[in-house]
């Protein structure tokens, strides 16, 4: 039997892994600019965490979790998202006792048992943040705005076009109860035409119908009540404050009155970033505030807000050019200049390895190979290397080597120090270019 990756999972090979690593390193840089620090939680959690936190009526918990008993019969789940885990950690470690606001970021794999398609995997990767606010109503909307501005600043690093921030408020619990009741009333009148999934949701989770992409549901959804008409004054003023501050800061967004997001824990501000460059799976980020989740998980009443970016989808948006920029440049390749045979002898390899070590000691990546020049050039191409250094046995005395520029195909004799400088300046150009 041929062994392959499990359904919905993928291997990431170089040079794609380098692009991913760069995305993650830029995320760390930007998040730390805003005072966020990394949190790492386990990939497995108690199944009850998601049932209680995310909600049993959601698709995520009802249909999509990878859950299994361990050998002692504990019910475990491969995490389908990380907000619940970060909140569990907050409660478990009594982080409410620390000075606030408290800001965390995370990155790593998530698991959902969904039907795989382009942009949708069973193991996918999220980069996210969570901000826990202190007491005082005034700070809550600042927290929402900060998280959104952080998100926009991060995404700007990749020079993407066609991205849009969609924003809405799902209000507090009281507002949502009123809205829910209105939706149940409304959708009951459409029972006959709704898709089977949505029919089931009318009583159970009518907000979720608004997320449906099923064509049968479109006519009902297009006339459905909007939550903005059901916000109580507290929720309304919170939302207005968010909109005003975002506008003052010049952060572009669009209010999308039917954006509700699928998870039960959201309150107040919810948002998504969609890309017009992706197909049906067009959301690259989802987020929102949650005023009750920490309490629901056994902690005090603490306001939280966060987002999760789908790293797989983000990378799918990159142009070939920006991927190449993120890949960076390959190492200097050192090969023996064949003296006695066409291919270079083992003895001549000693020189190549010694020179490699010298270059590496100066903090410049170097790699070695041997063989006919065409084979050496293939190796250099595969590693995305611009320069090949051919070294002869007297390099220690002369400090001079032959350098082949893979782009111009020229071969020049030059001091070793110059070859190293060539690599360094090219590396700098690539790094500077990445903020475009």
Q: Does 286 bind ligand AMP (CB under 6 A)?
A: yes
Q: Does 308 bind ligand AMP (CB under 6 A)?
A: yes
Nearest one of 380, 334, 336, 322 to 360, comparing CA atoms = 334
284 in contact with ligand AMP (CB under 6 A): yes
Number of amino acids touching ligand AMP (CB under 6 A): 16
Please state the closest distance from residue 324 (CB atom) to ligand AMP, in A: 23
How far is it, in rounded angstroms, from Cα 224 to Cα 260?
Answer: 13
Among 31, 36, 106, 121, binds ligand AMP (CB under 6 A): 121
CB of 290 to ligand AMP, least distance (A): 12
Instruction: Find the binder of ligand AMP among 36, 104, 124, 387 (CB under 6 A).
Output: 124
**Segment interacting with ligand AMP, rule: CB under 6 A, options 113-121, 239-247, 323-331, 392-400:** 113-121
Question: Rounded distance, CA 65 to CA 49, Å?
Answer: 12
Task: Kindly state the smallest distance separating residue 237's Cβ from ligand AMP, in Å.
Answer: 27
Backbone angles phi, psi at 107, to 5 degrees: -150, 145
* Alpha carbon distance 283, 223 (integer Å): 23
Least separation in angstroms between residue 308's CB and ligand AMP is: 4
Give the rounded distance of the alpha carbon of 72 from its chain centre: 34
Could you tell me the smallest distance in angstroms from the CB atom of residue 261 to ligand AMP?
Answer: 7
Question: In this chain, which of 24, 46, 114, 226 binds ligand AMP, going by CB under 6 A?
Answer: 114
Largest Cα separation within the chain, whole Å, is 90
Among positions 206, 299, 304, 310, the unique one binding ligand AMP when judged by CB under 6 A: 310
Among 22, 45, 59, 81, indicate the residue that binds ligand AMP (CB under 6 A). 81
Give min distance, CB of 270 to ligand AMP, in A.
Answer: 10
Beta bridge partners of 336: 391
Out of 120, 153, 236, 430, the only residue in the binding site for ligand AMP (CB under 6 A) is: 120
Work out whether 201 is an interface residue with ligand AMP (CB under 6 A).
Answer: no
Q: Pick the binder of ligand AMP from 88, 100, 103, 112 (CB under 6 A).
A: 112
The answer to the question of residue 387 lying near ligand AMP (CB under 6 A) is no
Q: Site for ligand AMP (CB under 6 A): which residue of 59, 312, 327, 351?
A: 312
Question: Is the alpha carbon torsion for 238, 262, 45, 22 positive or negative?
Answer: negative
Verify binding: residue 217, ligand AMP, rule CB under 6 A. Answer: no
Of 34-42, 308-316, 414-422, 427-435, the window that binds ligand AMP (rule: CB under 6 A) is 308-316
Stretch that binds ligand AMP, among 178-186, 200-208, 238-246, 279-287 (CB under 6 A): 279-287
CB 334 within 8 A of CB 402: no
Q: Where are the alpha helices (DSSP H) in 297-415?
A: 311-316, 320-327, 346-361, 373-382, 395-398
Q: Which stretch binds ligand AMP (CB under 6 A): 112-120, 225-233, 362-370, 408-416?
A: 112-120
Looking at 49-57, 114-122, 190-198, 362-370, which segment touches ligand AMP (CB under 6 A)? 114-122
Query: Are 220 and 195 contacting, i.e. CB atoms less than 8 angstroms apart?
Result: no
Q: What's the rounded Cα separation, in Å, for the pair 248 and 242?
A: 10
Whole-number minimum distance, CB 234 to ligand AMP, in Å? 25
Residue 427 touching ligand AMP (CB under 6 A): no
Q: Which of 332, 340, 368 is nearest to 353 (CA)?
A: 368
Rule CB under 6 A: which residues touch ligand AMP? 81, 112, 114, 119-121, 124, 126, 283-286, 308, 310, 312-313
């Amino acid at each position: 039997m041929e062994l392959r990756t499990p359904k919905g999972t993928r291997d990431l090979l170089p040079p794609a892994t380098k692009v991913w690593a760069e995305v993650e390193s830029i995320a760390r840089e930007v998040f730390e600019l805003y005072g966020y620090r990394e949190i790492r939680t386990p990939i497995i959690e108690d199944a009850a965490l998601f049932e209680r936190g995310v909600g049993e009526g959601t698709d995520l918990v009802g249909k999509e979790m990878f859950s299994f008993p361990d050998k002692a019969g504990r019910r475990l789940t491969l995490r389908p998202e990380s907000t619940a885990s970060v909140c569990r950690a907050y409660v478990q470690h009594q982080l409410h006792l620390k000075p606030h606001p408290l800001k965390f970021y995370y990155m790593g794999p998530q698991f959902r048992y969904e039907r795989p398609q382009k942009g949708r995997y069973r193991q996918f990767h999220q980069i996210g943040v969570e901000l826990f606010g202190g007491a005082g109503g005034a700070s809550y909307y600042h927290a929402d705005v900060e998280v959104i501005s952080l998100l926009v600043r991060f995404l700007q690093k990749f020079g993407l076009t066609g991205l849009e921030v969609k924003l809405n408020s799902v209000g507090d619990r009281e507002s949502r109860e009123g809205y829910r009741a209105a939706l149940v009333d409304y959708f009951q009148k459409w029972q006959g035409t709704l898709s089977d999934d949505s029919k089931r949701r009318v009583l159970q989770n009518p907000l979720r119908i608004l997320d449906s992409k099923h064509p049968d549901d479109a006519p009902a959804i297009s006339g459905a009540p909007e939550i903005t008409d059901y916000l109580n004054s507290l929720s309304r003023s919170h939302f207005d404050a968010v909109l005003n501050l975002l506008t003052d800061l010049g952060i572009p967004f669009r209010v999308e009155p039917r954006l509700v997001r699928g998870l039960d824990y959201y309150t107040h501000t919810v948002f998504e970033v969609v890309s017009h460059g992706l197909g049906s799976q067009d959301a690259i980020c989802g987020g929102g505030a949650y005023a009750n989740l920490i309490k629901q998980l056994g902690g005090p009443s603490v306001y939280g807000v966060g987002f999760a970016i789908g790293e797989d989808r983000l990378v799918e948006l990159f142009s070939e050019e920006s991927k190449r920029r993120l890949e960076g440049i390959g190492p200097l390749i050192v090969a023996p200049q064949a003296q006695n045979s066409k291919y270079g002898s083992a003895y001549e390899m000693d020189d190549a390895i010694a020179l490699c070590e010298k270059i590496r000691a100066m903090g410049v990546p170097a790699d070695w190979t041997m063989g006919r020049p065409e084979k050496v050039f293939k190796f250099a191409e595969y590693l995305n290397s611009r320069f090949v250094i051919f070294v002869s046995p007297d390099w220690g005395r002369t400090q001079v080597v032959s350098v082949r520029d893979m782009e111009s195909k020229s071969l020049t004799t030059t001091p070793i120090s110059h070859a190293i400088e060539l690599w360094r300046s090219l590396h700098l150009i690539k790094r500077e270019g990445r903020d475009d």
